[in-house]
Amino acid sequence: MSIMSLLVALFVVAISSYGVSAQLSANFYSTSCPTALSTIKTVTDAAVSQEARMGASLLRLHFHDCFVNGCDASVLLDDTGNFTGEKTAGPNNNSLRGFEVIDNIKTQLESACPGVVSCADILTVAARDGTVALNGPTWNVLLGRRDSTTASLSAANTNIPGPGLSLSALMDSFSNKGFNANELVALSGSHTIGQARCVTFRNRIYNDTNINSTFATSLQANCPTSGGNGNLAPLDPTPDAFDNAYFSNLQTQRGLLHSDQELFNGGSTDSLVNTYVSNSATFFTDFANAMVKMSNLSPLTGTNGQIRTNCRRVN
């Protein structure tokens, strides 16, 4: 290898090891749209104080964006006559919420700084602010993501894990996105807030054996063996508070989803669940770090993608 090609190779390694942080930055909008962060927070806080669950819905919306070809706002695109987006994918259909909150933020920011703030960044910051509004941990969001001009229904159907998965299938799903088992457990702690529909936990409350029978029976009243698919139950006993009750609930076999209880079912992740029960601060730190990592999955930067004017459609 010549000295020159060696230098070029070293340069390439140096650049790529910078990763996304070379392209995303904390102060991305500080001159182009100084009110961006405060606007997102104000609108998100108002939405969460009107309905606490909205904090959970925004967090989940961000997850379902990032696990499908990166955090590029692809999940926000509406279906049209000649475009099929991700909204009707199995994990999303009749389930994702919060689109109107993102629209409200976008409308305000298009008026303040037209064509500057991406839908992908709005969603990333709103997910953080929604978590904080429910007393969860905070984290620093890097900015500068751009919006996709495409979406993938098939990737949404395959890349987002479902509630029937086993521990090893959950580990595989997260490993495909670069997350280890500890990060799987920490991120699953997001189920400390929000609700799930009967269709997602029916099989668990009638057929699983690793469930407290009193708990299962109480849920069956509002989730019959057929019908009532959309009836809601809280994911943990304190669905409007971001706390560590999700994990103590797993210790007594009261996980709502089969996938939740898999994290505490005699396997390798039991010990981390125990740690998070005894040390809520460790959970908060691990969650925040894993959220930063999730938020940085494959962003479009530089001249890739676009800044959508309307988050629901390509410009």
Ligand X SMILES: *[C@@H]1O[C@H](CO)[C@@H](O)[C@H](O)[C@H]1NC(C)=O
Q: Could you say which of ligand X, ligand HEM, none residue 170 binds, taking C-beta under 5 to 8 angstroms by partner kind?
A: ligand HEM
Residue 177 three-state SS: coil
Span of 5-13, 49-57, 97-105, 204-212 interacting with ligand X by CB under 6 A: 204-212
Beta bridge partners of 4: none
Residue 83 three-state SS: strand
152 touches ligand HEM by CB under 6 A: no
93 touches ligand X by CB under 6 A: yes
Residue 309 burial (CB count, 10 A): 14
Which residues lie below 8 Å from residue 77, measured CB to CB, with a gap of 6+? 83, 85, 86, 87, 148, 151, 312, 313, 314
Active site residue 64: yes
**Which residue among 60, 64, 202, 204 is the active-site one?**
64
225 touches ligand X by CB under 6 A: yes
For residue 8, CA distances in Å to 17, 22, 133, 279, 301 come to 14, 18, 47, 47, 23
Three-state secondary structure of 293-308: HHHCCCCECCCCCECC
Tokens describing residue 161: 């894990």
Q: In the range 251-280, which residues lie near ligand HEM by CB under 6 A?
A: 257, 259
Span of 16-24, 63-71, 186-194, 203-211 interacting with ligand X by CB under 6 A: 203-211
- The least distance separating ligand X from the CB of residue 235, rounded to whole angstroms, comes to 18
Q: In the range 190-249, which residues lie near ligand HEM by CB under 6 A?
A: 190-191, 193-197, 200, 235
Q: Which of 265, 93, 267, 81 is nearest to 257 (CA)?
A: 265
170 touches ligand HEM by CB under 6 A: yes
Residue length, the chain?
315
- The least distance separating ligand X from the CB of residue 257, rounded to whole angstroms, comes to 13
Annotated binding site for heme b: 191
| Binding-site sequence positions for substrate | 161
Binding interface with ligand X (CB under 6 A) = 82-83, 88, 93-94, 202-203, 206-207, 212, 214, 225
Catalytic residue annotation:
64
